[in-house]
Copies of this chain bind each other. A is one copy, B any other.
């Protein structure tokens, strides 16, 4: 049986490493989140939420937790009131930018072929 989560894939003898990438980066909003973090270096939760105004806090939280679990995002909690949590890219997350750019480039050429009026 084929594993479903990125974590499970790590323990699965896979012959296709590209599938690992789609599992880690394939979340609906993960490219956008990683892109925002790459531009601003460090963002608080509220700042991220404002930048990505199309997704609810609930969804943003989950995507961030997954990215953190996969080692792409660093989460720093300051124990104070009101709470303050800062998110930034790890080295692995920064390395992912290269792939994301390659994927974005192909996605654009694909869209141009299928949707020339954009």
Encode contact with B along A1-43: 1 for CB under 8 Å, 0 otherwise: 1100000001101111111111011101001100100010000
List A60-92 residues whose CB lies under 8 Å from chain B.
70-71, 92
B-chain residues with CB within 8 Å of residue A25 when the two chains form the complex? 18, 22
Give the distance to chain B from A28, nearest Cβ to Cβ, in Å.
7
Interface residues contributed by chain A, number (CB under 8 Å): 46
Contact A71 B24 (CB under 8 A): no
Task: Specify the chain B residue showing the minimal Cβ separation from A7.
Answer: B114
The A interface, classified by DSSP as helix, strand, loop or mixed, is helix
Contact A106 B96 (CB under 8 A): yes
7 residue pairs, one from A and one from B, having the closest CB atoms: A17-B107, A20-B107, A18-B31, A21-B103, A17-B104, A21-B107, A15-B32
Give the distance to chain B from A35, nearest Cβ to Cβ, in Å.
4
A2–B107 Cα gap in the complex (Å)?
A: 17
Task: Specify the chain B residue showing the minimal Cβ separation from A35.
Answer: B15
